[in-house]
Amino acid sequence: MKILVTGGAGYIGSHTCVELLNAGYEIVVLDNFYNSCAESLNRIKELTGKDFKFYECDIRDRDGLEKIFAENNIDAVIHFAGLKAVGESVQKPLEYYENNVGGTITLCEAMRDAGCKKIVFSSSATVYGMNNPSPLKETMQIGGTTNPYGTTKYMIELILQDLYVSDKDWSITILRYFNPIGAHESGRIGENPNGIPNNLMPYVTQVAVGKLSCLSVFGDDYDTHDGTGVRDYIHVVDLALGHIKAVEKVASCTGVNIYNLGTGNGYSVLDIVKAVEKASGVKVNYKIVPRRPGDLATCYSDPSKAKAELGWVAERGIEKMCEDSWRWQKNNPKGY
Ligand code: NAD
Ligand code: UD1
């Protein structure tokens, strides 16, 4: 099978490309390098010993997409390309809707015209909104998102559902990721945030490596085991392997299938700090500050549907996640 990977130079995309190539898939990668660089592609080749075609292209570029579909016999698309910074999305809602929602529509139009109607889409636990209790299940009502980024994911899920209603040839798998962390165990690819990280793990490892001085822990008065926010962290390689199962699924049936990709376990901010300290042997400076607006106390998945229907479970625990995040950070203190 030949898979087009949009956003394949990014964090989750690069890890998924490695697993796809290792599993024997042919891949074509598309990225506009808005939040990534060509070095990640070199490292995918280095890690796998395999080559692949790359197009520097934007998913909003209809002609560019047509050319890619015309030049390659694409069987299915894994669609990672998108903007993902929650805070930035509040400042730049039009850019987020245009890029994420508009870009996905353009991509689906190009797919339809090329007769390629199999897509795996990167959604997020954020679509469950603020009111569903954890463990979160795929059957729960979604919506009530609190920022434009989350709303783009919600809107795209609805658009993909409508697309299938209009044409039953489509096969659509929506993956709702929980909190991806970790890196390839080689330490050669990993998350490469621009500027000061918004997310917890890159912030903690940058404090551990001495790049940042102190972690701000956003609130210690939540109703959780130690008062700090609890999340379902998942190793990015487990997440990447979930995409292999999802590709097998889209290849084998039509319809819309939705899966949580998480471990089902919740860890607090301070659990993560301790686990990184253990993995790195370095003390992580932190201070407690007020809650971050829009944050939930607790968010973790019920991952049983992915186990039952895809035969997928996350296998890497929190120690491995922190060891691999740390190895990537230590070996690449300036990123790629
Ligand atoms: P990332 O920013 O590392 O990767 C996204 C890639 O898409 C980047 O390489 C970027 O350059 C590219 N891109 C963005 N807009 C593009 C466009 N218009 N045309 C072509 N390329 C474009 O992010 P990631 O963490 O790898 O996330 C991948 C997907 O998973 C995103 O859709 C994200 O919203 C979703 N997601 C991520 C997380 C997370 O915590 N990382 C959680 C839930 C969902
Ligand atoms: C955030 C986004 C979510 C997105 C996900 C992955 C919000 C409200 N949600 O999830 O939409 O899909 O990132 O990109 O932004 N924390 C600190 N200090 C920090 C950073 C984080 O204490 O410097 C805490 C947070 O309060 C939270 C936990 O660490 O309890 C995890 O935060 P983060 O990594 O930003 O992920 P989420 O907020 O779960």
Residue to mutate, 33, 34, 58, ligand 1, most ligand atoms under 8 Å from C-beta: 34
Active-site positions? 149
Mean pLDDT of 110-120: 98
Q: Cβ(217) to ligand 2 under 6 A?
A: yes
What share of the chain in percent tops pLDDT 90? 98
Q: Cβ(129) to ligand 2 under 6 A?
A: no
Q: Is the pLDDT of residue 151 over 90?
A: yes
For residue 6, the model assigns a pLDDT of 98
Residue to mutate, 292, 296, 321, 322, ligand 2, most ligand atoms under 8 Å from C-beta: 292
Give the Cα separation of 81 and 235 in Å (integer): 20
Mean pLDDT of 209-224: 97
What pTM does this model have? 0.98
218 beta partners? 289
Phi-psi region of 283 (alpha: psi -120 to 50; beta: other; left: phi over 0): beta
Residue nearest to atom 33 of ligand 2 (CA): 199
| C-alpha 84 – ligand 1 centre gap (Å) | 6
| C-alpha 98 – ligand 1 centre gap (Å) | 14
Q: Is the pLDDT of residue 18 over 90?
A: yes
| C-alpha 199 – ligand 2 centre gap (Å) | 5
| C-alpha 245 – ligand 2 centre gap (Å) | 27
Q: Cβ(229) to ligand 1 under 6 A?
A: no
For residue 94, the model assigns a pLDDT of 98
Q: Is the pLDDT of residue 194 over 90?
A: no
The answer, yes or no, to whether the previous bond of 303 is cis (omega within 30 of 0) is: no
Q: What is the mean pLDDT of the chain?
A: 97
For residue 258, the model assigns a pLDDT of 98
